[in-house]
Chains A and B, each alone.
Chain A
Amino acid sequence: MEMYAVFQMVWWLLLGVLLIGLAVMVGMDMGVGTILRYVGRTDLERRVALNIIGPHWEGNQVWFVLGGGAVFAAFPLIYATAFSGFYVVMLLLLWSMILRPLGFEYRGKLASARWRGMWDWALLVSGLVPMVIFGAAFGNLFLGAPFHFSWNLTSTYTGSFLALLNPFAILCGLLSASLSVFMGAVTLMNGAEGVIHARSRRLARLSALLAIVLFAGGGWWVHGMDGYVLAQSPGAGVAQTPLQQAVTLTGGAWLANFHAHMLLWLLPALGFVGMVVGLLAAGARRSHVAWWFGVLAWIGVIATAGAALFPFLLPSSSVPAQSLTVWNSTSSELTLTWMLGFTVVFVPLIVWYTSWAFYVMRGKVKAEQVETSEHSY
C-alpha cells in the first residue's frame, strides 16, 4: 500500500478523534448551557452551575477551533466546500457560539436580573443551537448535499438553507443535543449537590433514554436509505481531483461496510452500551462512571457514522460523481506528514495539562462559596 494512502487513513481516523474530542469536551459545556435555566431556578443556583465548568470551558472550546483548523489543514476541500455550502447554517453556528464567551465572562459583571436573564437565554441558545447543527450536519452527510465543481474546482452550492433541516437531519441533531445534555447533566452532578444534583440527574436519565431511542431510530432510517457507492475512482493514495470518479446510489448501501466487516457492528453496540450504562450509572448517582460511559456513547455514535460513510466524507446529491471522499479531499502527503508530527507531539501534551487543570479544580462547588466569594462567574 502507498504511504500516502496510509496517511490518508490515519488522518481520517484522526478526524474522528477530533470530532469525538469536540463532541465530548465542547458538548458537555453546551449541555450545561442548554439546561442552565432548568437546573438553576435562582441566580445563585445558575452561578453554581456556571462555576462548575467555569475554569474549563475556554480550554474545551478550543476543540471546536482546532476542528476548523485541522479540517482546513488535512481536508482543505471539505473545509472549503462544506463551510461555504452550508453558509447560513455556519453563520447560525458562529453567531450562537460567539455569544458563549460573553455569556460566561460578562453575565456576572452586573447584578441586574434582566442583564443576567438575557445572558441565561444566550447561553441556552449558544448551547443548544450548535449541538443541533453539529448533529444535523452529520445527518446531511448521509443524504448528500447539492454541490458541484467547475473545471478548476470552484464549488457551487445549489441547495436552500431549509433543505438542510429535513427530518433525518433533525433526528441526528436531536441525538447530538441529547448526548450533549447527558454529558452536561452528569458534569453538573459531579460538581454540584442538593437540588442542582437532583435536577441534573433527572435530565441525565431523560436525555440518555432519548438518545437510545434516537440512535436506534437513526439506524433503522439509514437501513432503508439510498447510500452512495464509489463505483470507480483513481483509488487510495493517488493524487486526484473529485472530477475523476463514478458514483452510484443503492438502497441500504450505507450498511455495506458493516456487512463486509462484521466486526464493525461493535461500534453501534459500543454506542448503545455507553448510553445504557450511562443511564443506569446516572440513576445510581455514580456520575463519574456515567461521564465516562457518555464518552463511550459519543465514540460509538461518531465511529458508527464514520464507518457507514467511509470512504465518503461529503457526498454530492446533485452530481454524485463529484462526491468528496477520503481519497480526493486530503492534503498532500508532505502536509499530512508534518501535521501528524505536530499532532503526535502536542495532543498528548494537551491531554496532560488539561487533566492537570481538572485535577486542580476537582471537588464540589458550594453555593455559600459562590455567594461569599466575589470572585466567581
Chain B
Amino acid sequence: MHDITVVDLSRWQFAATALYHFLFVPLTLGLSVMLAAMETVYVTTGKPIYREMTQFWGKLFLINFALGVATGLTMEFQFGTNWSFYSSFVGDIFGAPLAIEGLMAFFLEATFVGMMVFGWDRLKRGQHLAVTYMVALGSNLSALWILIANSFMQNPEGAHFNPLTMRMELASFSELIFSPDAQAKFVHTSIAGYVTGAIFVAGISAWYMLKRRHVELARRSFRMAVLFGVLSTAGVITLGDALGFVGGQAQPTKLAAMEGLWKSESAPMPFNLVAFPSQEQQVNRAQVQVPYALSLLVTHSLDGTVPGLDQLEQQAVARIRNGIPAVEALRTLSSKPGDSAALAQFRAHEKDLGYGFLVQRYAEDVGTATDAQISQAARDTIPQVSSIFWSFRLMVAMGLAMLAFFVLAVIFSLRNDIQHQRWFLKIAVWTIPLPFLACEFGWLVAELGRQPWTVYGILPTWMSASTHSVGYMIFSLAGFVGLYTLFIIAEMYLMLRAIRQGPPPDDADPVFDGRTDGGRLAGYAEG
C-alpha cells in the first residue's frame, strides 16, 4: 500500500524540481526567439551593433540555458524514479511525446546551440543565422511536445484502458496531439516565455540606460523587446482566455476552484474579484463580486453557467459508486485474464474506473467501502481552492500589469524619449521578476487545479507515486534542495556579473568580412 507521507513528499519534490526548472525554461524560449530576431536584423542590414546585441544577449542566454538543461535531466527521469505507477499506467501514451521531444526538439536545440556558440567565425552569416533559428525552433518544439504530454494529464484524450495489460493505452495519436487543451496550452505557455524574454531584455536595457552605459545597444534592444513584448502579452492573455474556456469544460473542478465557486448559481453568474475561501466550511469568508462577469468570462455569454463545487462533489459520489464494480472486476481479471463475466462487468463500469481508485485509498477492498469512505473520497475531488484561486488572480494581475507596462514602453520607445523617462526605466528594472513569478503561478494553477488526479478523472495522485520509504524521500528531497540552492547562487552570481560587465567595448568588436576565417574557437566572449 501507498504511504500518504511518501506521496506528499513525492509531490513536494516534483513541484520543487519542476518549478525550479520552469524558472529557466520560459527565458530560454523567449530569448532564443529574440536572438533569432536580432540576428536576422544583423544579417539583413549588416549593422555590427545587431551582431553585438546577438552576442551579448546570447551570453546571458547560455548562463540560463545551462541550468535549464541540467534541471531538465531530472524531469526526464523523475516520472520513473518517483511516479512509478503513473509511468507504467499511462507510459504507453505519456512516454511517446517525451521521446518525440528528444528526437525532434532536444537534439536540434542542443546540437545547434554548440554551433551557435562556437560557429561565429567558422560559419557564413546566413549559416550562422540558420543555426540560431534551429535553436529557437528546437526550444519551441520542445515546449510543444512537453505540453502535449501535460495536456494528456489535464484532459486525457485518445486513450483507452486495456484490461489485458492492466494499463491505459494509446487509441488515437491524432486525438492525443490535436487535443484542444494541448494546442491552447502550447501557445499560451510558449508565448508566456516570449513575454519573459521581452521583460528580461527590456529590464536590463533599462538598467544600462539608467547607468548611461551601452546606450545605443540598450536603446535598440529595448525597442525590439517591447514591440515583441506587447504583441506577446496580448497573445498570452487571449490564449489564456481560450485555455480557460477549453479547460473549464474538461476540468470543471479546476475551474470552480479558480473562481472560488462553492455553490452552483443561476445565470448570469457574478465573478469573485477577491475572496477568502475556506476549504473546511466550503464557503468564501469574504468576497468582492462583479455581477454577470463570470458567465461572460468562462462561457462567453450572459446566460451560461458552470457547476459549483457542491454539485461536482455530488457527481463524484455517484461516479465513485459506479467505479467500484470496475475496480473489483479488474482485480478478478488480473488473476484470470480470460474471465468473461468480469470483463463484461468491467466494460459496464469502465468510465468511472478512476473514481473507483479514489475510494481505494480508504478501503483497499473497494467492495467494502462505507458511505463515509465514499463521501471522503468525493470530498477529495475538490482541489485546494484558496491556493488555486489566488495563484490564478496573481498570474492574471501580473499579466495585465505587464501589458500596461509594454503599452507605455512602446509609446515612449517610439517617441524616442525613453532615455528621459527615468521613473519608467526604474519601473522596467523592477518588472524583471514579474514574468517569472507569473509563469510559476500559472504552473501552480494548472497542476494544483488538476488534483487529486495525476491524469484527470483516470488516475488518482495517491496511487501514482513510487513505493519508497519516507527516509529515501527525505534524502532525495534534501539532496535536490541543497544542490539546486547552490546552483541558483552560482547562476545568479554569474548572470549579475555578466550584466554588470556588459557587452565588450566597440573597438573590441571584430569587423565581419563575410568569410569563414578565424580560429577554431569563437564563441561568446567569456569576459
Interface string of A75-113 (1 = CB under 8 A from B): 011011111100110110011011111101110111000
Residue B318 at the A interface, CB < 8 A? no
Q: How far is the CA of A36 from the CA of B117 in the complex (A)?
A: 22
Residue B341 at the A interface, CB < 8 A? no
Decide if the interface of chain B is mainly helix, strand, loop or mixed.
helix
Give the chain A neighbours of B114 by CB distance below 8 A. 54-59, 357
Interface string of B73-104 (1 = CB under 8 A from A): 11011011110111111111111101111111
Would you give the shortest CB distance from A202 to chain B, in whole angstroms? 24
Would you give the shortest CB distance from B162 to chain A, in whole angstroms? 6
Q: How far is the CA of A107 from the CA of B40 in the complex (A)?
A: 31
Would you give the shortest CB distance from A37 to chain B, in whole angstroms? 21
Interface string of A233-246 (1 = CB under 8 A from B): 00000011101100
Cβ–Cβ contact B115 & A374, under 8 A: no
Cβ–Cβ contact A369 & B74, under 8 A: no
Q: How far is the CA of A79 from the CA of B467 in the complex (A)?
A: 15
Cβ–Cβ contact A87 & B476, under 8 A: yes
Decide if the interface of chain A is mainly helix, strand, loop or mixed.
helix
Chain A residue with the shortest CB-CB distance to B484:
A98
Residue A363 at the B interface, CB < 8 A? yes
Would you give the shortest CB distance from A20 to chain B, in whole angstroms? 16
Contact of B107 among A62, A100, A152, A372 (CB under 8 A): A62
Chain A residue with the shortest CB-CB distance to B357:
A152
Cβ–Cβ contact B111 & A363, under 8 A: no
Residue B72 at the A interface, CB < 8 A? yes
Cβ–Cβ contact B92 & A81, under 8 A: no
Would you give the shortest CB distance from B64 to chain A, in whole angstroms? 10
Would you give the shortest CB distance from B416 to chain A, in whole angstroms? 34
Cβ–Cβ contact B519 & A91, under 8 A: no
Cβ–Cβ contact B66 & A154, under 8 A: no
Cβ–Cβ contact A69 & B170, under 8 A: no
Given A102-B487, A332-B169, CB of A87 within 8 Å of CB of B71: no
Task: From B257-265, B327-335, B386-394, B445-453, give the one contacting chain A.
Answer: B327-335
Give the chain A neighbours of B82 by CB distance below 8 A. 84
Q: How far is the CA of A348 from the CA of B77 in the complex (A)?
A: 25
Would you give the shortest CB distance from B262 to chain A, in whole angstroms? 34
Given A62-B106, A76-B87, A108-B526, CB of A83 within 8 Å of CB of B520: no
Interface string of B114-129 (1 = CB under 8 A from A): 1101111011000000
Interface string of A56-76 (1 = CB under 8 A from B): 111101101110111111101
Residue A220 at the B interface, CB < 8 A? no
Size class of the contact patch on chain B? 35 or more
Give the chain B neighbours of A98 by CB distance below 8 A. 70-71, 73-74, 483, 487
Give the chain B neighbours of A61 by CB distance below 8 A. 69, 110
Q: How far is the CA of A5 from the CA of B321 in the complex (A)?
A: 39
Q: How far is the CA of A69 from the CA of B145 in the complex (A)?
A: 12
Size class of the contact patch on chain A? 35 or more
Q: How far is the CA of A339 from the CA of B99 in the complex (A)?
A: 8
Residue A125 at the B interface, CB < 8 A? no
Would you give the shortest CB distance from A275 to chain B, in whole angstroms? 29
Chain A residue with the shortest CB-CB distance to B71:
A98
Q: How far is the CA of A347 from the CA of B99 in the complex (A)?
A: 12
Cβ–Cβ contact A152 & B483, under 8 A: no
Would you give the shortest CB distance from A287 to chain B, in whole angstroms? 17
Cβ–Cβ contact A80 & B91, under 8 A: yes
Would you give the shortest CB distance from B35 to chain A, in whole angstroms? 16
Contact of A84 among B71, B98, B466 (CB under 8 A): B466
Chain B residue with the shortest CB-CB distance to A83:
B80
Question: Restricting to A95-135, which residues have a CB under 8 Å from any CB of B?
Answer: 95, 97-102, 104-106, 108-110
Interface string of B44-84 (1 = CB under 8 A from A): 00000000000000000011011101111110110111101
Give the chain A neighbours of B120 by CB distance below 8 A. 375
Cβ–Cβ contact B84 & A374, under 8 A: no
Residue B414 at the A interface, CB < 8 A? no
Complex A-B: 7 CB contacts under 8 Å: A66-B106, A98-B70, A106-B491, A331-B91, A335-B170, A377-B523, A377-B526
